[in-house]
């Protein structure tokens, strides 16, 4: 599976980047993950849309337990979705051009996080989900 994580952050923390890269490395067994920086104007670029299933991350989106997220990912893969685009909106919310492209809304938490911290939490949740699906020991 290909996973693209799009975010609109303005500042980067190099300490968090190292942890992000560790999770991306761990995920390589199950998925190829790309971190993409979104542009405020317009929607998602065409290269991200072709054959992709677009999920927006919203505070009010659907919440999952770790097991439920793993099951949701499995259902998406079983439905033939091989490219998942996960979008973390701007500080002011999801850009208008992107809003209309969202096919499903998920929530990481009812709390608000910085873009980079939200991205890190998302990568950890994805790694945990794939570990659950493969019967690994990380989740235990």
CATH of the domain at 56: 3.40.1280.10
Best CA proximity match to 23, nearest among 11, 35, 13 = 35
Q: Count up the domains in the chain and report the number.
A: 1
138 lies in some domain: no
Note the pLDDT of residue 12: 80
89 lies in some domain: yes
Between CA 26 and CA 78 the distance in angstroms is 22
Between CA 71 and CA 4 the distance in angstroms is 19
85 lies in some domain: yes
Between CA 108 and CA 116 the distance in angstroms is 13
Residue owning tokens 């259902």 = 75
pTM of the model: 0.94
Note the pLDDT of residue 138: 83
Tell me the residue range of the domain where 71 lies: 2-133
Note the pLDDT of residue 42: 77
Note the pLDDT of residue 68: 97
Mean pLDDT of 97-125: 94
DSSP state letter for 58: E
If you average pLDDT over every residue of the chain, what do you get?
93
139 lies in some domain: no
Residue 90 has pLDDT above 90, yes or no: no
Between CA 95 and CA 39 the distance in angstroms is 9
Mean pLDDT of 12-39: 93
| Residue 48 CB coordination number (10 Å) | 20
């Amino acid at each position: 599976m290909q996973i693209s994580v799009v975010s609109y952050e303005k500042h980067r923390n190099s300490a968090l980047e190292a942890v992000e890269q560790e999770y991306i490395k761990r995920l390589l067994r199950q998925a190829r993950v790309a971190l993409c920086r979104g542009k405020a104007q317009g929607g998602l670029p065409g290269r991200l849309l072709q054959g992709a299933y677009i999920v927006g991350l919203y505070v009010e989106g659907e919440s999952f337990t770790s097991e439920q997220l793993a099951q949701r990912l499995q259902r998406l893969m079983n439905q033939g979705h091989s490219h998942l685009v996960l979008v973390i909106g701007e500080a002011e919310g999801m850009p208008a051009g992107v809003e209309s492209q969202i096919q499903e809304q998920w929530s990481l938490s009812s709390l608000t996080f910085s873009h980079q911290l939200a991205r890190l939490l998302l990568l950890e949740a994805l790694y945990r989900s794939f570990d659950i699906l493969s019967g690994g020991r990380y989740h235990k």
